[in-house]
Structure 1
Amino acid sequence: MDLNEKTQANVEYMIEQIKSKLRMASAAAMQASAFSASQYDDIYDLYEMVINKHNLSISEVEAVVSELGRLRGK
């Protein structure tokens, strides 16, 4: 997957990967389609941080979930 392209499909892919990595209990409530390609840069930054960390602390998971919620609300 070429994540250099700012497409809706790439946004949805990254959201799904973040949810999978975080093993989010509320993942069903976090629909990837609720995010817009206009938020690509912010989502890409989150994606890179989450995917590149071997383990995330509880506070890091909470921060990522909070940021996803903020982005979803835009």
Structure 2
Amino acid sequence: MKDLSQKTQENVEYMIEEIKTKLRMATGAAMLASAFNVDQYDDIFDVYDIVMSKERLSISEVEALAMELGKLRSK
């Protein structure tokens, strides 16, 4: 288990990759981990926590989480 207590870009990228894997995102290429900034660490961690705590996610949950990640992506 990775130590996510440190707010680093490396941890941001790790969480994004784990979220993409869990959500089986077909658009994973569009969701580059490097496009996320450590400034949104707490919000990304919240999404990560939700995704990892559930065994299964409904289609609407996946869509909502993908939309939230889109909002957090650096412009």
For the aligned pair, the TM-score class normalised by the smaller chain equals over 0.9
Task: Compute the TM-score of the two structures, normalised by the length of structure 1.
Answer: 0.96
The number of aligned residues is 74
Alignment partner, residue 63 of structure 1: 64
Give the drift of 1:73: 4.5
Give the drift of 1:13: 0.1
| Runs of 4+ with deviation above 2 angstroms | none
Task: Compute the TM-score of the two structures, normalised by the length of structure 2.
Answer: 0.95
Question: 2:5 & 2:74 partners in 1: Cα distance?
Answer: 24
Alignment of 1:25-64 (within 5 A): 25-64=26-65
Q: List gaps (5 residues or longer) in structure 2.
A: none
Question: 1:35 & 1:51 partners in 2: Cα distance?
Answer: 19
Q: List gaps (5 residues or longer) in structure 1.
A: none
Question: 2:64 & 2:74 partners in 1: Cα distance?
Answer: 15
CA RMSD of aligned residues (A): 0.9
1:1-55 Cα shifts (integer Å, max 9, x gaps) = 2100000000000000000000000001110000000100000000000011000
Identity %: 66
Alignment partner, residue 7 of structure 1: 8
Amino acid at match of 1:49: I
